[in-house]
Amino acid sequence: MTFVVKDNCIKCKYMDCVEVCPVDCFYEGENMLVIHPDECIDCGVCEPECPAEAISPDSEPGLEHWLKLNLEYAQVWPNITIKREPPADAKEFDGKPKKLESYFSSQPGQGD
C-alpha cells in the first residue's frame, strides 16, 4: 500500500508534501513529484497537505497507471525533502485537465 502522485501535480509542484513526509519518499522531476511506493509507509500525512489535491492512496480505483509512473520515476529522479518556491505559473495550471499528455516532463528535477 502506498500513496501516489497524480496528474494535477504536473506544472504545479507546490512541494508542501515533502516537508511533512516522515520517510522522505518524494522524488523530483522537472515539473512534478512522485512517491517511491517501496518507501512510502502509507501514513497519509501528505494527502491533505497538497494544495492541488494531487495525492491519493493507491487503493482508489483507476490509479494503476499512476502507480507505475510513480515507481518508474522514483528510481531515476533525485530525492527531495526540502520545499522550494513552486513554479511562478503554478496557479494557472492548477486544475487543468489531462496534463500528463500535454505537459509531463520525464527530465529530473534539481532535488535537495
Burial of 25 (0-12, 13-18, 19+ CB in 10 A): buried
Would you list the DSSP string of 41-89? ----SSGGG-TT--EEETTSTT-HHHHHHHHHHHTTSPB--S--PPPTT
Do 29 and 108 meet the contact criterion of CB atoms below 8 Å apart?
A: yes
Selected from 45, 63, 67, 100, the binder of other proteins by CB under 8 A is: 45
Selected from 38, 89, 92, 112, the binder of other proteins by CB under 8 A is: 38
Selected from 43, 65, 105, 111, the binder of other proteins by CB under 8 A is: 43
**Which one-letter amino acid corresponds to residue 57?**
P
81 contacts other proteins (rule: CB under 8 A): yes
| Choices 7-15, 21-29, 60-68, 101-109; region in contact with other proteins by CB under 8 A | 21-29
Q: How many residues bind other proteins (CB under 8 A)?
A: 18
Residue ranges binding other proteins (CB under 8 A) = 1-2, 19-24, 38-45, 49, 81
